[in-house]
């Protein structure tokens, strides 16, 4: 046993290594990126372009790889599990939407080597386009979900999630949220588990989801639900206390509650509320009922959606007031905080430094000094000067910053890969100069299939691929393919060679860039302009290594 100071992401990664994971796969996304970064640093000594591979003394190959997107990551992990080894896939919450197809179906197959899907939610949308709650997606897939409340639990639960996955032959979703993922604490690790040999199950038919088999597997998954609930109930922690108030916490909600519990007790004759902490889902009902039978009212503290709170309503025979997000005591959106939980507990505000007293000048996010995207947008804006009719759809990446002044150069940003589809859709109904702007990483992630549609229908659109050689927005992780292969790939997708233009994203090339963009905007078909220059942050990273 060792003690280490780890962030929640690092604790998850360390636990996976100690639990004998051999295949780890991911696509970057805040707040989950550091899981793969840690794994790549620690899995072995031969780091490849997009991943690390190591061969252990007993011939065991371990991989930790960035993949094209979350779906491919998930499917790679599933393959590792099928051949009897432990596998982990990690992603940010919206990544689970991309991986939804294998995710939901993997709950029906008979998992062999433990499979853990780590999904990092981002309440308050620090770096995301929504704040969806992955617990509900686990519920939707009828899959067990573990939710740690601190870094030590992140370590312990990751380890036990692998065991649970193997014991019940089902994947486990481990849900973490931003603060836990990024904050550091002391973590005690457990001994490293030996890695077993490759081997398939005795009944591989359970991996074939054709209707007859899928029906059987679905029935088997449904039959497991009672055990999931019983185990979740046994793992939940009930601390009896006052009859006045029952508090149910989930995940990080526990930490915010614990910061205020003592003050509540002091204000209520020394007795603490009756407290139930739930860390696994689907939640059992045993301890919830025990709590409910003991208290006059209940407050639910959970980050994300009112998931447990909604389950509670209507669960009890006698009407029991339940407060939380649905009744407004807990803010319905954004991260929880010790202060918002304090207010929900009816405690007076803590005196502190009033934020208004500190003058912080407003500083909207901007491109880094010398960012190639700035030059690409200068060229695009010049090319569009005097044109009244155009539509410019952006994708998700650093270049989405061009939605704001002084650029105001893109008009939409919805989900990864969408720029190509939106530009194509608009072009197909007559929009002139329909432009998609996408980064290289996002193009490989999910832009390519949309481009196939555009080629198939000869849609009059222009796609700008801002190829900075990296995934800049999430901290400059490698992309899945090299810059030099992009034109060949585009040709392979069916874009006409003469309408694939490779330009330098640099102000010294501005006149040539503007002229080329104008030419392609005038073309009545699919054209792709690749704007090439390295991301400054990526260059710094490469020089350091
Ligand atoms: C489904 C999904 N996965 C991951 C992310 C996190 N993310 C935002 S932008 C981005 C890619 C950025 O790379 P690129 O398109 O090359 O643009 P750059 O930032 O380098 O300009 C990623 C991975 C996300 N928003 N959605
Ligand atoms: S990280 Fe790279 S791509 Fe993003 S703004 Fe900075 S230089 Fe540009």
Ligand 2, pocket-test mutation among 127, 365, 371, 475, most atoms within 8 A of CB: 371
**Please, which pLDDT band fits residue 316 given cuts at 50, 70 and 90?**
confident
**pLDDT digits 0-9 by tens, 468-499:** 999 999 999 999 998 899 999 999 999 999 99
Give me the sign of the Cα torsion angle 424, 426, 428, 433: negative
List the domains of the chain with CATH numbers: 3-233 (3.40.50.970), 236-344 (3.40.50.920), 372-543 (3.40.50.970)
CA distance 368 to 361: 18
Whether residue 354 is predicted with pLDDT greater than 70 in this model: the reply is no
Q: Where are the beta strands (DSSP E) in 353-429?
A: 391-394
Give the ranges where 59-150 is alpha helix by DSSP (H). Answer: 70-82, 93-98, 100-106, 134-140
**Structure confidence at residue 391 (pLDDT):** 97
C-alpha 334 to ligand 2 mean position (Å):
27
Q: How far apart are CA 299 and CA 82, in angstroms?
A: 43
Mean pLDDT of 231-246: 97
The reported pLDDT for the residue numbered 181 is: 97
Summarised one tens digit per residue, pLDDT across range 198-218 is 777 777 788 999 999 999 999
Instruction: Name the residue of 535, 539, 542 whose CB sits within 8 Å of the most ligand 2 atoms, as the mutation to test its pocket.
Output: 535
DSSP state of 473: G
Residue partners of 190: CB distance under 8 A and separation at least 6: 1, 18, 156, 159
DSSP 135-160: HHHHHHTT--EE--SSHHHHHHHHHH
Written as six digits, the tokens of 319 are: 């009407």
pLDDT > 90 in the chain, percent: 87
Q: What sections of 268-322 are H helices per DSSP? A: 286-294, 307-312
* Secondary-structure breakdown of the chain: helix, strand, coil percentages, each rounded to the nearest 5: 45, 20, 35
Atom of ligand 1 nearest to the CA of 443: 15
Cβ atoms of 170 and 107 closer than 8 Å: yes
Q: Which atom of ligand 1 is nearest to the CA of 472?
A: 20
Mean pLDDT of 281-304: 96
Distance of alpha carbon 26 from alpha carbon 69, whole angstroms? 7
DSSP state of 68: S
399 Cβ inside 6 Å of ligand 1:
yes
**C-alpha dihedral (320, 325, 329, 331), degrees to nearest 10:** 170
**What span, in angstroms and rounded, lies between the C-alpha atoms of 195 and 21?**
8
**What value does the CA radius of gyration of the chain take, rounded to a whole number of Å?**
26
| CA angle 75–79–83, rounded 5-degree value | 165
Residue 367 has pLDDT above 50, yes or no: yes
Q: Would you say the CB of residue 539 lies under 6 angstroms from ligand 2? A: no
pLDDT at 38: 96
Please work out whether the CB of residue 160 comes within 6 Å of at least one atom of ligand 1.
Answer: no
Q: Tokens representing 508?
A: 């010294």
Closest CA to 403 of 384, 381, 421: 381
pLDDT, tens digit, 9 for 90 and up, residues 374-426 = 999 999 999 999 999 999 999 999 999 999 999 999 999 999 999 999 999 99
Average pLDDT, the chain: 94
Q: Using CA positions, which residue lies closest to atom 1 of ligand 2?
A: 472
Look at 221-225, 236-240, 347-351 and tell me which has the smallest mean pLDDT.
347-351
* Tokens 């959606």 found at: 305
CA dihedral defined by 295, 300, 306, 311, rounded to 10 degrees?
-30
Confidence tier at 47 by pLDDT (50, 70, 90): very low
Looking at residue 207, the DSSP 8-state letter turns out to be: G
Rounded to whole angstroms, how far apart are CA atoms 153 and 355? 33
Q: What is the maximum span of the chain, computed from C-alpha positions, in angstroms?
A: 80
Phi/psi at 527 (5° precision)? -130, 145
Q: What is d(CA 65, CA 377) in angstroms, rounded to the nearest whole number?
A: 32
Distance CA 424, CA 454 (A): 6
């Amino acid at each position: 046993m060792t003690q280490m100071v780890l962030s929640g992401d690092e604790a998850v990664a360390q636990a996976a290594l100690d639990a004998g994971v051999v295949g780890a796969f991911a696509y970057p996304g805040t707040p989950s990126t550091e899981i793969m970064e840690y794994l790549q640093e620690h899995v072995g000594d031969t780091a490849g372009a997009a991943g690390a591979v190591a061969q252990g003394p007993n011939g065991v190959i371990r991989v930790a790889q960035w993949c094209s997107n979350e779906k491919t990551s998930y499917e790679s992990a599933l393959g590792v599990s099928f051949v009897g080894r432990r596998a982990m896939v990690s992603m940010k919450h919206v990544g689970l939407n991309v991986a939804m197809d294998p995710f939901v179906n993997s709950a029906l197959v008979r998992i062999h080597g433990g499979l853990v899907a780590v999904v990092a939610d981002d309440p308050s949308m620090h770096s995301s386009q929504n704040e969806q709650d992955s617990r509900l997606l686990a519920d939707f897939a009828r899959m067990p979900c573990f939710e740690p409340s601190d870094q030590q639990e992140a370590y312990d639960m990751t380890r036990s999630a692998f065991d649970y996955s193997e014991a019940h032959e089902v994947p486990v979703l481990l849900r973490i949220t931003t603060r836990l993922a990024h904050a550091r604490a002391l973590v005690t690790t457990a001994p490293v588990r030996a890695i077993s040999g490759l081997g398939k199950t005795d009944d591989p038919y359970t991996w074939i989801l054709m209707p007859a088999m899928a029906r059987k597997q679905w029935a088997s998954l449904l039959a497991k639900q009672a055990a999931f609930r019983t185990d979740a109930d046994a793992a939940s922690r009930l601390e009896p206390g006052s009859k006045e108030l029952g508090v149910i916490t989930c995940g990080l909600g526990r930490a915010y509650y614990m910061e205020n519990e003592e003050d509540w007790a002091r204000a209520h004759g020394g007795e603490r509320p009756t407290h139930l902490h739930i860390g696994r889902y689907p939640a059992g009902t045993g301890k919830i009922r025990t709590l409910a039978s003991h208290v006059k009212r209940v407050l639910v503290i959970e980050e994300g959606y009112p998931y447990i709170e909604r389950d509670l309503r209507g669960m009890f025979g006698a009407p029991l007031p339940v407060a939380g997000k649905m009744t407004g005591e807990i803010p319905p959106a954004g991260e929880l905080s010790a202060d918002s939980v304090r207010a929900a507990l009816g405690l007076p505000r803590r005196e502190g430094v009033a934020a208004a007293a500190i003058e912080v000048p407003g500083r909207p996010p901007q491109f880094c000094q010398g960012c190639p995207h700035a030059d690409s947008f200068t060229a695009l804006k010049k090319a569009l000067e005097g044109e009244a009719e155009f539509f410019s759809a952006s994708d998700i990446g650093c270049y989405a910053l061009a939605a704001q002044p002084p650029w105001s150069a893109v008009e939409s940003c919805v989900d990864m890969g969408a720029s190509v589809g939106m530009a194509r859709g608009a072009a197909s109904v007559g929009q002139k100069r329909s432009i998609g702007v996408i980064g290289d990483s996002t193009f490989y992630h999910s832009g390519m299939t949309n481009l196939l549609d555009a080629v198939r229908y000869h849609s009059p659109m222009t796609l700008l691929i801002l190829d900075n050689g990296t995934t800049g927005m999430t901290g400059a992780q490698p992309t899945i393919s090299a810059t030099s292969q992009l034109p060949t790939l585009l040709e392979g997708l069916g874009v006409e060679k003469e309408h694939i233009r490779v330009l330098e994203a640099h102000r010294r090339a501005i006149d040539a860039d503007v002229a080329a963009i104008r030419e392609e905007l005038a073309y009545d078909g699919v054209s792709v302009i690749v704007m090439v220059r390295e991301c400054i942050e990526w260059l710094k990273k490469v020089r350091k290594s």
